[in-house]
Amino acid sequence: MNDDAETLVRLSEGLFEIGVLPYYLHLLDRVSGAGHFEVEPDRIELLQRQLLQQLPGYLVPRMVREIAGEASKTPV
Ligand SMILES: *Cc1c(COP(=O)(O)O)cnc(C)c1O
């Protein structure tokens, strides 16, 4: 996921303007070669707080992770 609050706020607002509800924000699938996209837990918490402060609730995406074998995404 992108780790910059201002960018994520603009993304949610922009998606809503074109009729898309941004309801998931996916954390990294830990696959080979993607390590530089990892976001640390402290940073994820900070981003969640920043998005909650700057967006109406319906535009705050749920941060989730895909875990192999799980029937649904897992909220983080
Ligand atoms: C997550 C996911 C779904 C299910 O979406 P929900 O909104 O959680 O029901 C379906 N297809 C794909 C490819 C997905 O990644």
Output the pLDDT for position 4.
94
> How far is Cα 36 from Cα 33, in angstroms, rounded to an integer?
8
Residue whose Cα lies nearest atom 6 of ligand 1: it is 72
The backbone torsions φ and ψ at residue 65, rounded to the nearest 5 degrees and listed phi first, read -130, 140
> How far is Cα 46 from Cα 22, in angstroms, rounded to an integer?
19
How many A from CA of 43 to the centre of ligand 1?
A: 25
Note the pTM of the prediction, 2 decimals: 0.85
Output the pLDDT for position 2.
85
Alpha-carbon 40 to chain mean position: 13
> How far is Cα 26 from Cα 15, in angstroms, rounded to an integer?
16
Q: ∠ CA(61), CA(11), CA(35), 5° rounding?
A: 75
Per-residue confidence in pLDDT tens, the chain, 76 aa? 789 999 999 999 999 999 999 999 999 888 899 888 888 889 999 999 999 999 999 999 999 999 999 999 999 8
Ligand 1 residue neighbourhood (C-beta within 6 Å)? 72-73
Output the pLDDT for position 70.
94
